[in-house]
Structure 1
Amino acid sequence: MAPVIEFEARRGRLFGLAYRLLGSVEEAEDAVQDAYLRWDRTDRATIEHPDAWLTKVVTNLCLTRLTAARATREQYIGEWLPAPVPTDQLGPLETVEQRDSVSFAMLALLERLTPPERAVFVLREAFGYGHRDIAEVMGLSEANCRQLHRRAAKHLADRKPRFQPARETRERLAARFLSAAQSGDLRALEDLLAADVTSWADSNGRLPMARRPVIGRDRVVRYFTGAWRKAPGNLEFTCTEVNGGTAIAVHAGGLLAVLALEFDGEAIAAVRIVANPAKLSHLRVPASP
């Protein structure tokens, strides 16, 4: 089999790994392409297990990028959120753990971890690697990898469990949220939001959005109703699926923003607004006809 064909058969899985490690589509694609260049230059006869070899290469390329990204993100204006990715481009999401590993909530939490902790956690939780295999990928001892996984799990232990409703329910709630916000129906909006709902916005200073989290039902209601009053009249909205969850795509000539919604039963528990053009250029979400 030709080297490029062998690699392309694995590209989707490698992108899924790189994206979980980096939270950036552009950086993940660059890491996967760099892995291909190494694959193309290497004598395949020396590679006994291609999947393991490529996983190791991509993981280590991402670890280097994660270290550099920390300094860059310190200069970011406002909140930094992961770039949204259509769910069908993230590889198999057959288990709860796999779906959770690409959610905005989890990717945001993974920013708390050191690069090695993040890599061990992703390999273990999202890809089901055993600690012995992770040690081989990371170039560390098995005991060290177990310790890194324990540390990562401890950092993430305070995450509040959410009840994720079925897709049809999420889309119905998203439609009600849009209708209430656009019409200024404060009561309807309050009824949809959890008491501790939080909204984050990421535009890197490109748009007049809150640069800090907006926390609490009353504040979030005022924030969204105020934003819609100031919004241009040519906005169009589409319900879509990104990162394993329901989102609202906002168009104004082109794609302006993606609102990723997090649910807790019948309530909206979080809204993450990605409006940095650099994080939306890869998305192809058509506007409503």
Structure 2
Amino acid sequence: MLDAATEVFATHRDLLFSLVHNLLGSVADTEDVLQETWLAWASARHSGIANSRAYLVRIAVNQALARLRRARRERAVDPGPWLPQPLLAGPAGAEDGALREESVSLALTVVLQTLTPLERAVFVLREVFGYDHGEIAGLLGRTSAAVRQTAHRARSGVRSRRPRGEPGPELRRAVTERFLSAALGGDLGALMDVLAPDVVMWTDGDGTPGIARRVVEGRDRVVRLVRAKAPGLPAGLTVRCVNTSREPAALLFAGDRLHTVVVLELTPAGDRVSGIHGVVDPGRLTRVV
């Protein structure tokens, strides 16, 4: 039988997981923050806490903010591409639908990386989880006016960089299949046709040999990179189309091992690929399947 403190934490754990993962983009870091939150909660004097949910969220968000600031400093030293960890399955015990409702797309998460840690936290709390400015001020120890200004800056930053248009999942899946068929089949003409002229490709290899550690811009450069890297891919890759968070994705398997997750952004018309997100870092693929 769970004691009262454990039961309260378990009740809110899925919310905390979803919130922190939206901020950090890493399952391992999210689990670490939840462990730190649990330790703080377990040692607290619960009789003086009027709102346990707000207390837990405040601890988790501020722990995540501290990690975001450290990660920002580290990425200033290592400027290679970074992508969040895609989630197919939710945290233990979570309902998949609830997780999807409280998550942002991989493409939007990449945009959020351009915000300051504070702007990102305010944006996620306000736009994804629906907290009002006063509630966010209480969680972050700021005034409502300051939070309102931060929220405005965050929305403006996201609006200026957010991919335009939201093609439906069926169209996105069809274009994903066209792209992969051309890329894996070596059909460079078909690959040129499916890519927008200003396509951008991000890959997060975390030092994995053969993976581009930079953002590649432009159709010709992307095609050259795909052509150069294709011979080094494992033979017999198989593809499975799934949904991760809020968007269709393709899982590439080498035998039983997950090799890559590919998520595409499309042009507003939905007929060409404007962005390619390839997650290949083995450490970021552990919670996808």
TM-score normalised to structure 2 length: 0.88
8 Å CA contact retained: 1:87, 1:244: no
Fraction of identical pairs, as percent: 39
**Structure 1 unaligned blocks of 5 or more:** 285-289
What residue in structure 2 maps to residue 148 of structure 1? 150
8 Å CA contact retained: 1:262, 1:269: yes
Quote the offset at 1:270 in angstroms: 0.8
Distance 1:137 1:183 in 2: 51
Distance 1:157 1:252 in 2: 38
**Residue identity in the other structure for 2:266:** F
Q: Which shows bigger deviation, 26-35 or 232-241?
A: 232-241
Relative distance call for 1:150 and 1:190 in structure 2 (3 A) is: same
Distance 2:219 2:225 in 1: 10
Distance 1:20 1:114 in 2: 14
2:264 pairs with one of 239, 261, 266: 261
Distance 1:124 1:270 in 2: 26
8 Å CA contact retained: 2:205, 2:212: no
Helix, strand or coil at the partner of 1:250: strand
Instruction: Give a deviation string over 1:101-123, Cα, whole Å, max 9, x none.
Output: x2222211222222222111111
Quote the offset at 1:73 in angstroms: 2.4
Distance 1:35 1:251 in 2: 36
What residue in structure 2 maps to residue 283 of structure 1? 288
2:178 pairs with one of 173, 176, 179: 176
What residue in structure 2 maps to residue 287 of structure 1? none
Helix, strand or coil at the partner of 1:251: strand
Quote the offset at 1:263 in angstroms: 2.1
Distance 1:180 1:236 in 2: 14
Quote the offset at 1:164 in angstroms: 2.3
Helix, strand or coil at the partner of 2:274: strand
8 Å CA contact retained: 1:77, 1:204: no
Distance 2:169 2:69 in 1: 36
Distance 1:23 1:168 in 2: 26
Quote the offset at 1:18 in angstroms: 0.5
8 Å CA contact retained: 1:196, 1:215: yes
8 Å CA contact retained: 2:99, 2:245: no
Relative distance call for 1:122 and 1:115 in structure 2 (3 A) is: same
**Residue identity in the other structure for 1:234:** G
8 Å CA contact retained: 1:77, 1:205: no
Q: Which shows bigger deviation, 55-64 or 228-237?
A: 228-237
Quote the offset at 1:47 in angstroms: 1.9
8 Å CA contact retained: 1:56, 1:137: yes
After superposition, where does 1:96-111 map in structure 2 within 5 Å?
102-111=104-113
**Residue identity in the other structure for 2:262:** L
**Structure 2 unaligned blocks of 5 or more:** none
8 Å CA contact retained: 2:264, 2:277: yes
2:191 pairs with one of 189, 192, 198: 189
8 Å CA contact retained: 2:89, 2:288: no
1:57 pairs with one of 56, 59, 63: 59
**Residue identity in the other structure for 1:263:** L
Q: Which shows bigger deviation, 256-265 or 127-136?
A: 256-265
Q: What is the total number of aligned residue pairs between the two structures?
A: 279
Helix, strand or coil at the partner of 2:136: helix
**Structure 1: 4+ residue segments shifted above 6 A:** none
What residue in structure 1 maps to residue 234 of structure 2? 232
